[in-house]
Amino acid sequence: MASPTRQRERDPETTEQTEESERERVCDECDGGTLVKSEDQGELVCDQCGLIVEGTNIDHGPEWRAFNHSERQNKSRVGAPTTQTMHDKGLTTSIDWKNQDAYGRSISSDKRNQMRRLRKWQERIRTKDAGERNLQFALSETDRMASSLAIPRSVREVACVIYRRALDEDLIRGRSIEGVATSTLYAACRMEGIPRSLEEVAAVSRVERKEIGRTYRYVAQELNLEMEPVNPKKYVPRFCSELELSEEVQVKANEIIDVTTEKGLLSGKSPTGYAAAAIYAASLLCNEKKTQREVSDVAQVTEVTIRNRYQEQIEAMGIHE
């Protein structure tokens, strides 16, 4: 059934009138004290003798405090919080897909057909033009890919904000919606420090890796997104977990990355391949050997890349096979 997402808040003027009428009441015990409302307990108390006249009052006010009118207006709010992951920011009413009434009982066939028609028209009127329909499709694609990659909700919000900025700057024209949505999701992962490689993002996208990389560079340049180089150490915990390696291997892999990075070996190298090679070397040193094929499948890099990076790292570490 229709479930509005907004809730009404009590009118401040009505609340003030009620409080003023309570202050005018006089205590029946001492015949001189004025009844005041306790702010912390919601009780009606005499200010002279301390008699509690009413102790079961319901506090209809908000949970926040305001000390002036402007602060009260700024903090006033109703309904669920808005979200950037929906084209209408989650402000419209949604009709539940369950064919049940408020008591959980199944509705009749006539009501079921009526609710089906209402759902259909509800979906139609949520988007007023082609622009909103395209935005809805892009944000749904972003949410689908983020779910496949197990990306947190906060990063999805950042990705949707970047896409909206690209839409406002007219960067979508001449490019596919899926390509821009994928590139903004990858950019959000880079900005928030979530280790997701371009290959992993391309695996869940409907766009080729080359187009995603080209669109990502264009969007990042036009929107002046500050991107720091990806640290290979961020990939180590996830790769080791998927390979079922111990904590000792993770520590050794991070040590290899730190030492070899100081010697300048990371410059111009892929962070995923660099992390994969360090994990492979650490597994050999800790007697938890994994094959290059196993590591390459997890890191989604070629065995040749792991072999080349591995040779460079062990030479820099002064380790001889």
As annotated, the binding site for Zn(2+) includes 27, 30, 46, 49
CA geometry: angle 44, 48, 52, nearest 5 deg: 30
Nearest alpha carbon to residue 237 among 290, 289, 193, 275? 275
Amino acid at 123: E
3-state SS of the chain: helix, strand, coil percent to 5? 55, 5, 40
* CB burial of residue 93 (10 Å; 0-12, 13-18, 19+): exposed
Paired residues of 2 in beta bridges: 95
Paired residues of 52 in beta bridges: 45
Q: Which of 12-18's residues contact partners 24+ apart within 8 Å by CB, and which partners?
A: 12/72, 15/60, 15/61
Binding residues: 27, 30, 46, 49
